[in-house]
Amino acid sequence: MQIIKVKNYEEMSVIASSMLVEHVQQNESPVIGLATGSTPEGLYRSLIAEYRKGAVSFQGVTTFNLDEYVGLNKDDATSYQFYMNQKLFDHIDIPEEQIHLPNGVSEELQQDCTDYESNIQKAGGIDIQVLGIGLNGHIGFNEPGTSFLSRTHAVELTASTREANSRYFSSLAEVPTQAISMGIATIMESKKILLLVSGEEKAEALYQAINSPLSEEFPATILQLHPEVTIIADELALSKVLESYDESESAFEIKELQMK
């Protein structure tokens, strides 16, 4: 596990973007796992800027998103498909058929989850999975208590996650109660994981993710077992980790990256 400490949200976004751009430039058919929420918005803005500069093309890229709400179709402004179109896909040259999100309005939900898994396999697996972290340690929409062996599945959202995400909806009552999420085992099969964390609000979650014993009650602790995790976190998000960090005793390394 490697931690890259950056000053703020902007630096986190630009560094994450340069890592993805480099991967896309160096590979013919890269497979990228994408996330939603506030955390990756700056990353997506930076990817669009790189595309507009002509630095990168997404023609060969295949994407798999982590999750989607159940009951929202893709034209619904609060669906993750809509978010992804608006924040990234509509502004780059990725072919539509190479974009994958779980289908929130499927009538064959179980079959769709199985197909989602096999589509990831057919694409050769995910090279880099971008992750954010929920306040309760969720990754994707894998809430506390989800099995570490889980595959793409339907989940019941917790009250705290619905509350945290209600800012995107006109009222809490409108936040769906269920979602479809890539499973934890699916996420762990990604060759590389890029976890982005910004802001003081996430300091406790980040601390727990890397210091607490592995527990399905705090899903992000599983990342301690992944051989290729890079965490890009800003100073505020790292505030709690740094309070007790001892380089000689820690299982992870913190590297400071200054932008030019």
Q: Which residues would be at the binding site for ligand GLP (CB under 6 A)?
A: 35-39, 66-67, 132-134, 140-141, 161, 165
Among 68, 143, 216, 234, the one annotated catalytic: 143
Using CA atoms, how far apart are residues 138 and 187, in angstroms rounded to an integer? 12
- 138 part of the active site: yes
Q: Is the C-alpha dihedral spanning 22, 27, 29, 30 positive or negative? A: negative
Residues whose CB is less than 8 angstroms from the CB of residue 171 and which lie 6 or more positions away in sequence, other chains included: none
Least Cβ distance, residue 196 to ligand GLP (angstroms): 8
Rounded to the nearest whole angstrom, what is the least distance from the CB of residue 36 to ligand GLP in the complex?
Answer: 6
Q: With respect to ligand GLP, which residue has the nearer C-beta, 102 or 132? A: 132
Closer residue to ligand GLP, CB minimum distance, 165 or 190: 165
| Residues ≥6 apart with Cβ < 8 Å to 149 | 183, 184, 185
Nearest CB to ligand GLP, comparing residues 44 and 58? 44
The least CB distance from residue 140 to ligand GLP, in Å, is 5
Question: Which residue bears the tokens 């762990």?
Answer: 188
Query: Is the Cβ of residue 23 or residue 202 nearer to ligand GLP in the bound state?
Result: 202
- Do 30 and 60 contact (CB within 8 A), yes or no? yes
Is 75 catalytic? The answer is no
Q: How far is the CB of 53 from ligand GLP (least distance, A)?
A: 26
Residue 143 a catalytic site member? yes
Catalytic residue among 23, 100, 138, 153, which?
138
Q: Tell me which of 136, 189, 211, 217 is the catalytic residue.
A: 136
Kindly list the distances between the CA atom of residue 214 and the CA atoms of 59, 161, 205, 222, 249, in Å, as whole numbers in the listed order: 39, 21, 13, 6, 18
Q: How far apart are the first and last CA of the chain?
A: 25
Could you give the residue numbers annotated as active site?
67, 136, 138, 143
